Amino acid sequence: MTVMDMLRAGTSSTGDGPGSAVHRRALLAGALAAAGSAMVFVLPALLVWVAASESTVSWTSSLGIGASLWLLAGGAHLTVGATHLTVVPLLALALSVVIGVWSATRAAREAADARTIRLARDTLHRPLAADLLAWTLGYAACALLWVAVAFLAGPHPVVWTLVLPVLVVPVVSAGLALARLLKGRPELAGPALRRPTWLPEPVRRAVRPGLEGAAVLVGAGTLICLVLLVVRFGEVRHLQSELAPGIVGGVALTLAQVAVLPNLALWAVSFVAGTGFSAVEGASATWTGSRTSLMPMVPAFGALPQPGAFPGLLPLIVLLPVAVGALVGWRSLRAVARLSTGRTKLTVAGTAVVVAAGAVGLLDVLGGGSLGMARLRDIGAPAGAMTLALLVELGLGAALVLAWDRWKLRR
C-alpha cells in the first residue's frame, strides 16, 4: 500500500470532507511538533545574539546556528569549515522524540477513539494509520525547511546524516505513539501486527528485559556522573566562571552540558565495564588510573578524576554490570513460563543480554565522538570494545541466575 493509498483509505473510512480535515490537522500537528522542538535551540541562539551587543554575527546566522544545532540534536553531523562535529546530545534527542510522541498521540487520538474499526490488510485501523502517516509527513516537511535554513545561514549538516532528524525521529515518534494508543485499545491492531510471525517468540520476550538492562546501565552511569559533579563542584564552578559567559550565555552553556549528560553517562558505563574513555587525545581514564593533558575549557570536564593511579580494588566495580546482567537474567526468567525448557530460558536470557549490550553500544555510536579537529576529533568511549565487554559481563550475571534457577528446579 502506497502513501497515497493509505491516505485515501483513511479518508474514505470517515467521509471525504471530515476525513480530509482530520488528516490535514495531523499533517499540521507534525509540522508544529518539528517547529516546536526546533525552537528549543533557535530561541536560545537568538537570545544569545541579542544579549551579545558587540557581536558582528547577523541574526540570520544565529537563526542558522540554532537550526543546525537542532539537526545535531536529532542525530545529524555538522561541518564547520574543515572540522566535523558529531557529538549528538542524547538528552536533546530524547526531548525531540518525547515532543514527537506527545504530538503524534494527540493527532491520532480521534481516529483511535473511533467506534468502528476497519483494519487495512489485517494490520492496523485505517484512519489511525493515515493520521500517523500524515503526522510523519508533516514533521519531515518542516524538518526539511530547517535543513534549508541550516544550509543557507548556519554550519552545514552532513547530508547522509540528515536521515536521522528528518525521517528516523518522526518515524520512531509515530511508532511509540502507536504503541501507546494500542496499549489502551489493542483491537486497533490486527493479528499480523500484534504477533508478528517473522519475530520468534523467545526473541520477542527478550526485548523488554534487554532494554530494561540497558536503561539500568545508563541510569547507573548518570548517577556516577552526578556524584562526581557534586564532589568536584568547586572545580566545575571555577571553569564556568573563567569563561565569563554572562547570564544568557551561562544559561545556554549549562543547558548544553545538561543535554550531553547521557553521553557522559556512557563514558562512565565504559569505565565501569573496563574499556575506559578519553576526554581528549592524551587524557583518558581506565581501571589502572587517569592520565591528563591540556583540557578544553568545558566546565563539566572539571569533574573528571584527578590524574594518577587508582586504588587496586577499583576493578571490583565490574561487579556492577555483572549485577545488571543478573537482573536481565531474572527478568528474562519472569518473561517465560516457570517450567519452560532450559533451551528456551537460555535463548531468552542470551538474546536479552545481546539487546542490552547492543542498545548501549548503539547509543554510544549515535552519541558520536568528535568535537572538532586535532585532539578533539576522537573522544568518548570505544563503542565496539565496550559492547563486547558488556556482552561478557552481562552474560556472566545472567548465566549465574540461570544456573541458580536450574539448581532450584532440580531440588
What band does 192 get if pLDDT is binned at 50, 70 and 90? low
Q: What is the pLDDT of residue 13?
A: 42
- Residue 164 confidence (pLDDT): 95
Buried b (16+ CB within 10 A) or exposed e, 221-239: bbebbeebbeebeebbeeb
pLDDT at position 10:
45
CB of 182 closer than 8 Å to CB of 174: no
pLDDT tens-digit series, residues 265-287: 999 999 999 998 888 777 788 88
Helix (H), strand (E) at residue 372: strand 371-372
| pLDDT surpasses 50 at 7 | no
**224 versus 113: which is more confidently predicted?**
224
- Kindly tell me if the per-residue pLDDT of 309 is higher than 50: yes
The stretches of 54-89 forming alpha helices (DSSP H) are 59-73
142 or 408: whose pLDDT is higher?
A: 142
Of 210, 217, 221, 207, the closest CA to residue 321 belongs to 217
End-to-end CA distance of the chain: 56
Cβ atoms within 10 A of the Cβ of 138, count? 27
pLDDT tens by residue, 81-108: 777 888 899 999 999 999 999 999 999 8
| Model pLDDT, residue 19 | 57
- Whole-angstrom CA distances from 172 to 95, 97, 158, 247, 357 are 13, 7, 21, 36, 21
Q: For position 298, what pLDDT does the model report? A: 75
Q: How confident is the model at residue 11 (pLDDT cuts 50, 70, 90)?
A: very low
> Of all residues in the chain, what percent carry a pLDDT higher than 70?
88
Assigned C-alpha cell, 23:
488528516
Burial of residue 147 (CB within 10 Å: 0-12, 13-18, 19+) is buried
Q: Is 134 exposed, middle or buried (0-12, 13-18, 19+ CB in 10 A)?
A: buried
* pLDDT, tens digit (0-9, with 9 covering 90-100), for 22-43: 678 999 999 999 999 999 888 8
Q: Which of 34-43, 126-135, 147-156, 375-384 has the lowest mean pLDDT?
A: 375-384
* CA–CA dist 388, 80 (Å, integer): 33
Residue 201 pLDDT greater than 90, yes or no:
no
Helix (H) or strand (E) segment spanning residue 112: helix 90-112
Residue 44 has pLDDT above 60, yes or no: yes
Determine the pLDDT at residue 85: 85
- pLDDT score recorded for residue 173: 95
Each residue's pLDDT tens digit, 45-87: 888 777 765 666 677 888 888 999 999 999 999 988 777 888 8
